[in-house]
Amino acid sequence: MLEKSEIESIAAELERAEQTQELIPRITARYPNATIEDSYAIQGMWRDRQVAAGRRPPTRRPQDRPHVESDAGRNRHFGARLRCHV
C-alpha cells in the first residue's frame, strides 16, 4: 500500500503530464508495492483535482439522442488524451 503523500504526488504528476502532454514512467514500475486500491485512490484524487480546477468528467449521451451537438469548445472533458510510457 502506498502512503497518502505518495498518492498525492502521483496524482499531481498525472495532472502535469496531461497538461504538458509528456510521457511519464510507468507507475507500477516505480511503485511495485502499489495495490489496486492505490490505483483507485490515485484516480479519485486526480479526478478531484480536475473537478476543483473547473473541469467535468465525461458523460454518456442518451441512447435516444445519438447525435447531440458537442460542447468541446466550452468545456473540456478530462482523461481523454493521457499518454503513458509502457
Model confidence pLDDT, tens digit, residues 4-55: 999 999 999 999 999 999 999 999 999 999 999 999 999 999 999 988 988 8
At 55 the pLDDT is 85
Mean pLDDT to the nearest integer, 50-63 = 76
Please check whether residue 58 lies inside any domain of the structure.
no
When divided into structural domains, the chain yields a total of 1
Q: How far apart are CA 78 and CA 52, in angstroms?
A: 12
Please check whether residue 21 lies inside any domain of the structure.
yes
φ, ψ for residue 56, nearest 5 deg: -130, 150
Residue 66 has pLDDT above 60, yes or no: no
Q: How far apart are CA 11 and CA 8, in angstroms?
A: 5
**What range does the domain containing 48 cover?**
4-52
Q: Which three cell numbers stand for residue 68?
A: 447531440
Please check whether residue 19 lies inside any domain of the structure.
yes
pLDDT class for 76, splitting at 50, 70, 90?
low
Please check whether residue 33 lies inside any domain of the structure.
yes
Please check whether residue 47 lies inside any domain of the structure.
yes
Residue 72 has pLDDT above 90, yes or no: no
Please check whether residue 46 lies inside any domain of the structure.
yes
pLDDT class for 86, splitting at 50, 70, 90?
very low
Please check whether residue 63 lies inside any domain of the structure.
no
